[in-house]
């Protein structure tokens, strides 16, 4: 069944904090004794992946009612290289995390940010996307916002408890919470003054604005912050599976497959670091 698409990620994107791979033979021997994740998957011949099916262009249904998207096609390619059949299970964000924790799925793929806080709970893949954060404002007057400090007293739209809303609150914005709203609703509300600003991932915002050109909003140029990366999540005990996936991601980067898929779904090579220099980092508790 085709679901409505949401451009704006429901996840907090903060600073990157990746976990290094296990390299020494001693560690590999220890892992092989304790970690049966890869062996179990090999025996089944199936890689089970949790995703949303609603986040464009990461995980969504196309006009043929087929599940596709950047993360989806990257996973399909990895599974093919590992001689596995991939099976997708769809959840909301909280459901995906719960399914990963209880072992219902083998990994989570839905534009998940790779940051220090997430690394405390999960094992992280190498990045498949690099980005930064930006703000959507009214086209006619920039919503009278010229910096993050100008968020004070402004109405920030987003899903409650996300990192973006926490950043807006930190700078004094009034939060206007939405529950899985469509993109035209988000943008129309900024345009008509019900809200003033949306904080989110730059590339998702760029695609949203370009897809709805009749709505008079824009990305606030030059006000960028929080360089970020995203990829896949594993449980802490899935060290060998993570190694296998990371090895194939490295192969996909070297043979150009990752860049090709990034351009196909984002119109930009998000697999590479952006040319825009983003120096400001904003942390929230």
The neighbour count for residue 5, using CB atoms within 10 Å, is 18
Domain identity same for 247 and 124? yes
Residue 19 lies in a domain: no
192 has pLDDT over 90: yes
Give the confidence band of 117 by pLDDT, cuts at 50, 70, 90: confident
pLDDT, position 75: 98
CATH of residue 221's domain is 3.40.190.10
Listed in sequence order, the residues at least 6 apart from 202 whose beta carbon sits closer than 8 Å to its beta carbon are 131, 132, 133, 134, 219, 224, 274
Give percent above pLDDT 90 in the chain: 75
Domain identity same for 45 and 169? no
pLDDT, position 285: 67
Between the CA of residue 237 and those of 23, 30, 33, 95, what are the distances in Å? 16, 12, 11, 20
Higher pLDDT, 66 or 183: 66
Mean local confidence (pLDDT), 54-71: 93
Between the CA of residue 249 and those of 60, 78, 158, 275, what are the distances in Å? 21, 7, 32, 22
Higher pLDDT, 58 or 3: 58
Residue 183 lies in a domain: yes
**E-assigned strands of 36-173?**
46-51, 54-55, 59-61, 67-68, 85-90, 107-113, 123-124, 129-138, 155-158
Strands 155-158 and 174-177: parallel
Domain identity same for 46 and 176? no
Backbone angles phi, psi at 282, to 5 degrees: -120, 120
Domain identity same for 210 and 188? yes
Task: State the DSSP string of 69-88.
Answer: -HHHHHHHHHHHHTT-EEEE
Name the percent of the chain in helix, strand, coil, to the closest 5. Answer: 35, 25, 40
pLDDT, position 5: 57
Residue 186 lies in a domain: yes
| Tally of domains in the chain | 2
Task: State the DSSP string of 235-248.
Answer: -TT-HHHHHHHHHH
Domain identity same for 122 and 234? yes
Domain identity same for 69 and 126? yes
pLDDT tens, position by position, 165-177: 999 999 999 999 9
pLDDT, position 284: 83
Higher pLDDT, 182 or 86: 86
pLDDT tens, position by position, 3-39: 555 655 444 333 333 333 334 333 444 444 467 889 9
Domain boundary residue, one of 225, 252, 278: 225
Question: By residue range, what is the domain housing residue 64?
Answer: 25-130+230-266
Domain identity same for 142 and 255? no
pLDDT tens, position by position, 243-252: 999 999 999 9
Residue 57 lies in a domain: yes
Please give the DSSP secondary-structure letter assigned to residue 25. Answer: H
Backbone angles phi, psi at 219, to 5 degrees: -85, 130
Residue 275 lies in a domain: no
Domain identity same for 186 and 204? yes
Domain identity same for 109 and 242? yes
Domain identity same for 191 and 220? yes
Residue 55 lies in a domain: yes
Domain identity same for 91 and 169? no
pLDDT, position 277: 86
pLDDT, position 10: 42
Domain identity same for 45 and 153? no
pLDDT, position 283: 86
Which residues, listed in sequence order, are joined to residue 201 by a DSSP beta bridge?
A: 133
pLDDT, position 19: 34
Instruction: Look up residue 209 and give its two tokens.
Output: 């604005």
Residue 53 lies in a domain: yes
Higher pLDDT, 184 or 285: 184
SS (H, E, C) 159-208: CCCCHHHHHHHHCCCEEEECCCCCHHHHHHHHHCCCCCEEEEEHHHHHHH
């Amino acid at each position: 069944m085709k679901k409505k698409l949401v451009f704006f990620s429901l996840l907090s994107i903060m600073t990157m904090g990746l976990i290094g791979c296990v390299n020494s033979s001693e560690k590999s021997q220890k892992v092989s004794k304790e970690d049966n994740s890869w062996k179990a998957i090999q025996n089944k011949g199936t890689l089970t992946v949790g995703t949303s099916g609603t986040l464009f262009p990461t995980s969504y249904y196309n006009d043929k009612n087929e599940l596709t998207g950047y993360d989806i096609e990257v996973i399909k390619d990895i599974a093919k290289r590992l001689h596995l059949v991939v099976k997708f299970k769809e959840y909301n964000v909280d459901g995906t995390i719960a399914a990963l924790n209880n072992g219902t799925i083998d990994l989570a793929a839905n534009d998940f940010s790779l940051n220090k806080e997430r690394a405390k709970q999960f094992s992280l893949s190498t990045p498949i996307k690099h980005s930064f954060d930006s703000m959507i404002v009214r086209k006619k007057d920039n919503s009278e916002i010229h910096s993050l400090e100008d968020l004070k007293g402004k109405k920030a739209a987003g899903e409650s408890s996300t990192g973006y809303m926490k950043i807006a609150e930190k700078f004094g914005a009034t939060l206007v919470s939405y529950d899985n709203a469509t993109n035209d609703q988000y943008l129309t509300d900024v345009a008509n003054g019900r809200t003033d600003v949306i904080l989110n991932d730059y590339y998702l915002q760029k695609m949203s604005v370009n897809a709805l050109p009749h709505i008079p909003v824009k990305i606030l140029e030059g006000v960028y912050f929080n360089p970020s990366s995203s990829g896949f999540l594993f449980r802490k005990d899935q060290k060998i599976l993570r190694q296998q996936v990371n090895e194939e991601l490295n192969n996909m980067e070297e043979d150009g497959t990752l860049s090709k898929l990034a351009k196909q779904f984002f119109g930009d090579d998000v697999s590479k670091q952006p040319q825009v220099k983003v120096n400001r980092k904003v942390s929230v508790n």
